[in-house]
Amino acid sequence: MPPKQPEIHRPSLRPRRYGILPEIPHCYLRRAVCRRYNSRKHCYLRCDAEGYINRRAYFLGKRSVCFCRTRRPSEATPACAKRVGDIFDKPQFFVHKDAHVMDTRQGAEGDCWFISSLGCLCVDVQFPKLIAKLCPPEARDEKVGVYGFVFFRDGEWISEIIDDKLYIRAPDYDDCDDERRAVWDRSHSRLDPAVLREEYRKTFQSNSDALFFGSCADPNETWVPLIEKAFAKAHGDFNAIDGGWPGEGIEDLTGGVTTEIVSADILDKDLLWNEGFLRVNKEFLFNSGTRQYGHADPNELGRQGIEDDHAYSLLRAVDYNGNRLCMVKNPWGETEWNGPWSDGSKEWTPEAMKALEHKFGNEGIFWMPYADFLRRYDQIWRTRLFTDDWNIAQHWTTIQVPWAGDYNDTKFEFDLPKPATAVIVLSQLDTRYFMGLTGQYTFQLSFRLHKSGEKQHIIRGYSSGDRSATTEVDLEAGTYEVLLQISGQRFDSLPKVEDVVKQNWLARREKLMSIGLSYDIANAKGQGVESEPEPEPEPTASVMTMTADAAPSAPSEPAVAVDASNVDATGAAGTTVGAAFTVDTEPDPASDEAPWDAVCVVGLKVFTPGMAAAIRVVKPTAAAPAVGKANLDVDDPEKDATEKVAK
């Protein structure tokens, strides 16, 4: 048996979906990096500098995992499910011929990160009808009750088909056994029984207010609950979309690339306003989030209407009479900012109301000053959208991740035939859609970009959420190397894949097969055969190329054998509540801890306008072994403090 690997207590600068985030030692708060907005490269960079307090590490170490505030926290489960025609009086997918930003309202699910992303897509400027493209008219039959949606996942568009059954909050009249039924019967005792039952249905089970999960503000509009259901089904069930990062939500809906901005680390706020915020809904989409504060404020008096640990949509940014103003949407569809420029505040005049096209009301949409926006929202996500003249090249492979956080021996290379602005994304698999079969390992990605043969890096890419690290840079023609740094953590409290299969193969067979199929398909991306290079596409065509590379070793957890013929594509997998697998997490006292065996499937995507990059994987072999390890960065927590820094 191999010797037991030493346990490394390494702080994580990114909160994980599972387990408890360890406290960050004070020494790591001093060895810090800062971010600055680079106008030439249009990206946020980290400056290699000692002496700055790492506000990002401190902030992330203290906050809760992801964004998961709910609108109705007291309701545990829905009462029943009914078809759209049985809920709505006059159901319409779009009431006003298209989605509107005032439509979205979050329900009892903790998916404010997703609903806020939907709100960002509703402001049609340079990219119109983004919501309609997810479910075009030819992909839905509202009379029959069948809808087809598309989402972006792991570098490609996937489709999902659903029926029109939606969960509602109140049970049927005959199933209602709480005090509500007794009160209703007493107050309507003089009515005919048939009329009494119909009035009960109209009061508790009709139109948008009856829905348990997300809904539209219009009582007869259906696009929000249906797209939320399709997104939940695409990822397994509603439990799978509870909590997340707002930027990743926009990526899943648009195929864009998100860069995370920490408000406390912005050095040039004027540049961010001019080069970023003023381009909202033109070149970028923005959403933001607040953290969980240490002091409880149940009446929200000190927060001025801004909720803790909650995601918001940034809809507009304007300069009005010397005031920098941001238009923001709370996905709840209610509860607004009550500071300067809030509804009814002294700053508003009839001229301002007309110029900004604003009306007072509690629909969750409000204006606030730019300075207050940066103070209230700790994290901002900027998602770049791509037009048809951008091309995407991508390549996936499987990496054996060491327990030490060194740069990996495997690296990516890509060729640019001419100078271009390149958006570079290093991604791992989106584990949300095979949640439960993720195993005990979690990973955080970063990378360095080098000109081929040069030791000094050009730029570094850092994580923007759980699954990707990104950067954007202007490059000359030539060959470039992407050095990978993948940090892995193992949580023994999480179940192993084989344990999940063993304990659910009989009781949850269909669910296990569905999620297992997703697991197999996802991990197969990194286990293919090297493909032949494809010819360069025409400059005006939008091209996506994807290749995969052979894995260096088999994954530590065996893939689940699945018979795809038994999986119903339109089944109830996406309409099941409380579908978490049953797993006994008690450790076996007689078993020894397994050796470190972390495997991560990663892909490199390079977006370039007017041409496609050629990507390949370079792995050490017996004939061409790796020549030494890439040096760790000067601000890396794992760097030996006694090592001299090369000048």
Residue corresponding to tokens 């997340």:
244
| Amino acid 75: pLDDT | 59
- Average pLDDT of 72-96? 86
Residue 86: partners with Cβ closer than 8 Å, 6 or more residues away = none
Residues 439 and 555 in one domain: yes
User: pLDDT tier at 77 (50, 70, 90 boundaries)?
Assistant: confident
Structural domains of the chain, count: 3
Is 77 within 8 Å of 578 (Cβ atoms)? yes
The CA angle 529-533-539, to the nearest 5 degrees, is 140
Q: Which two tokens stand for residue 178?
A: 């709480």
Range of the domain at 429: 388-584+597-618
Which residue in the list 68, 112, 326, 600 is annotated as catalytic?
A: 112
Confidence at residue 113, expressed as pLDDT on a 0 to 100 scale = 94
Q: What is the pLDDT of residue 581?
A: 55
Q: Are residues 146 and 158 in the same domain?
A: yes
Q: 208 lies in a domain?
A: yes
* 190 domain-assigned: yes
Q: What's the CA gap between 619 and 306, in Å, rounded?
A: 49
- Domain membership flag for residue 323: yes
Per-residue pLDDT tens over the stretch 624-647: 665 556 666 666 655 555 555 544
What pLDDT is attached to residue 369? 97
Total count of residues recorded for the chain: 647
Banded model confidence at residue 298, pLDDT cuts 50, 70, 90: low
pLDDT tens for each residue of 486-529: 999 999 888 888 888 888 888 888 888 888 888 898 889 887 55
- Max CA pair span of the chain: 91
Residue 636 lies in a domain: no
Would you say residue 141 has pLDDT above 60? Answer: yes
Model confidence pLDDT, tens digit, residues 388-402 = 999 999 999 999 998
Per-residue pLDDT band for 51 (boundaries 50, 70, 90) equals very low
Q: Are residues 228 and 312 in the same domain?
A: no
Task: Select, from the ranges 295-299, 483-487, 635-639, the one with the highest average predicted confidence (pLDDT).
Answer: 483-487
**394 shares a domain with 373:** no
> Model pTM?
0.79
> Residue 468 contacts by C-beta under 8 Å, 6 or more apart in sequence?
248, 251, 257, 258, 425, 426, 427, 428, 445
Whether residue 356 is found in the same domain as residue 474: no
How far is Cα 53 from Cα 65, in angstroms, rounded to an integer? Answer: 22
Same domain, 363 and 407: no
**Would you say residue 219 has pLDDT above 60?**
yes
**Three state DSSP letters for 69-127:** CCCCCCCCCCCEEEEHHHHCCCCECCCCCCCCHHHEECCCCCCHHHHHHHHHCCCCCCC
| CA gap 128, 281 in Å, rounded | 9
Q: Which two tokens stand for residue 63?
A: 């906050």
**Cα 608 to Cα 451: distance, rounded to the nearest angstrom:** 17
- How does pLDDT run across 579-608, given as a tens digit for each residue? 455 555 555 554 556 788 899 999 999 999
* 214 phi, psi to nearest 5 deg: -60, 155
Kindly report, residue by residue over 358-387, the tens digit of the pLDDT: 999 888 999 999 999 999 999 999 999 998
Banded pLDDT at 179 (limits 50, 70, 90): confident
- What is the rounded average pLDDT of the residues 301-312? 84
Is 330 designated active site? Answer: yes
d(CA 481, CA 189): 78
One of 42, 310, 395, 450 is an active-site residue; which one? 310
3-state secondary structure of 260: strand
In this predicted structure, the answer to whether residue 46 has a pLDDT above a threshold of 60 is no
Is residue 362 part of the annotated active site? The answer reads no
- Asked whether residue 414 carries a pLDDT value surpassing 90, the answer given is yes
Residues 493 and 527 grouped into a single domain: yes
37 is a domain residue: no
Residues 267 and 187 in one domain: no
β-pairing verdict for 478-490 and 614-618 = unpaired
The answer, yes or no, to whether residue 478 has pLDDT greater than 70, is: yes
Residue 208 backbone dihedrals phi, psi, to 5 degrees: -60, -35
Flag whether pLDDT at 563 surpasses 70: no
564: CATH: 2.60.120.380
Rounded mean pLDDT of the chain? 78
Say yes or no: 451 and 345 in one domain.
no
Same domain, 355 and 504: no
Mean pLDDT computed over 237-265 = 92
Residues pairing with 221 in the sheet: 92
User: CB under 8 Å to 571, separation ≥6 — which residues?
Assistant: 510, 514
**pLDDT over 80 at 158, yes or no:** yes
Residue 57: pLDDT band by 50, 70, 90 thresholds?
A: very low
**Average confidence (pLDDT) over 174-188:** 84
Catalytic residue flag (residue 216): no
- Do 374 and 406 lie in one domain? The reply is no
Q: From the candidates 330, 408, 504, 523, which is the catalytic residue?
A: 330
Tell which of 241, 271, 288 closes a domain: 241
How far is 11 from 321, CA to CA, in rounded Å?
47
367 lies in some domain: yes
> Virtual CA dihedral for 579, 580, 582, 587, nearest 10 degrees?
180
